[in-house]
Structure formats: structure tokens, C-alpha cells
A and B are shown apart, each in its own frame.
Chain A
Amino acid sequence: NAGVTQTPKFQVLKTGQSMTLQCAQDMNHEYMSWYRQDPGMGLRLIHYSVGAGITDQGEVPNGYNVSRSTTEDFPLRLLSAAPSQTSVYFCASSSLQGTSSGNTIYFGEGSWLTVV
């Protein structure tokens, strides 16, 4: 019963490097999303997807790219890492965007990223 799986758990990058945070879910959820969590800022939505082939920007999309080629996977790409992208990143999924009877969001364990 894996749920939402994120890799890597920890990563240190140098400014200007690129990398991809991986996210996979095994619940056949249509909706997937990426959040970043910073002290005092709560959870801020970066990008989201309502199904394979469909992605959209959230609240803080600059510096990040996403793609959704399959229902299961939703990778987040940092194009040219900056110290301001030092954060904890959470991938999440749910059966639908928003609410319906019994719907909720399931989060991964998080990826700690430090950009030096």
C-alpha cells in the first residue's frame, strides 16, 4: 500500500544546476499536484494536473516545470536551481480536483531540497 511515493528524500544542489523530483502514485488518481512548504508560509501550490497530458500552474510556478505523461507519474523539474528554491516539496494526489463525496488529498513523505 505505497500511496504517493517521492524521490529523492534529500538533495543538495548547486546554484544553476537542474534536477527532477519524482512522484508516483498507485491509487489511480486523476489529480496530482506539487506543493512547497516554507516556514510560516504553509503549503503553496506549484503546479497541478487533472489528468494525463494536462497540467496547469499554481500559486508559485516560476522556475519549475511539470509533465504528466501517465496517470501514475508527475515529475517536477527545477530548470536552474536558485537558493530561493530551498524548501520541502510535497507531491499529492486525489481522485478528483476539489471535492466530491469521500474525496481528499493524499501527500507523499516530502523531498528536502537545499540549493547552495
Chain B
Amino acid sequence: QQQVKQSPQSLIVQKGGISIINCAYENTAFDYFPWYQQFPGKGPALLIAIRPDVSEKKEGRFTISFNKSAKQFSLHIMDSQPGDSATYFCAAARAGQNFVFGPGTRLSVLP
């Protein structure tokens, strides 16, 4: 019930295209859903996050869509750029509990 599933495992997108990464969770007590971006040789860093009281959050080219009834959330990267090539982790959390991370998606954006 603590698991967060993430797909796809890897993704190749052309420059200018839309990258979509999906995550699903089981525990309805989670109340915070962040996405982390990790470049090679670096630690993960917070990219964008959402709480379940909203269905969408947009920051620049990055958008989280959240479907509470389906217990799913996704990251959309519009106008994908080669500089977006990284590994992306979704996560879920609740107060007083450790964050639960998805297995990660390796995104490659071709020039």
C-alpha cells in the first residue's frame, strides 16, 4: 500500500515534443505529491509538487495533472528540450511518514 508505481521506465522524445510520465499510488492518506529531477552525477532536486486539493499545477513548461479518484498523477513537459534529459522521480508523502519514491523514468530528449 506504500508503493508508488511509475511508467515508463525510459522515454525518448524529440526536441519540441511533449514528455509524459505517469505515477499511481494506493494509500489515500498521501497528501503531497512531488516530482524530482536528477541530472547525471547529481542528487535529485525538487521540480514541482502538488497537493490533492487541486487537479493541475503548472510551472513554466512543467505541469502536474492529478486525478484523486483514480489515484494517479502525471508530469507533462511541454516543448521538451535536450536540457530536460534527466531521470525523473515521482513521490508521495504524508505527515510523519517517510517519502515514498517511484522507481524513476530516464528521459532523453533528442536534438
Contact = CB atoms under 8 A, between A and B. Distances in A.
Query: A interface, by DSSP: helix, strand, loop or mixed?
Result: loop
Interface residues of A, number: 24
A73 interface: no
Contacts of B6: 42
Interface stretch (B14-22, B41-49, B57-65, B73-81): B41-49
Contacts of A41: 103
A58 interface: yes
Interface residues of B, number: 25
Contact of B98 (A40, A48, A103): A48
A58 B6 CA distance: 21
A63 B96 CA distance: 26
B66 interface: no
Residue with the greatest number of chain A CB neighbours at <10 A, chosen from B9, B34, B44, B96: B44
Interface of A: 4, 33, 40-43, 45, 48, 58, 90, 92, 96-100, 103-110
20 contacts: A4-B43, A40-B9, A41-B103, A42-B102, A42-B104, A43-B104, A45-B98, A58-B98, A96-B95, A97-B95, A97-B98, A98-B95, A98-B97, A99-B31, A104-B46, A105-B46, A106-B46, A109-B41, A110-B42, A110-B43
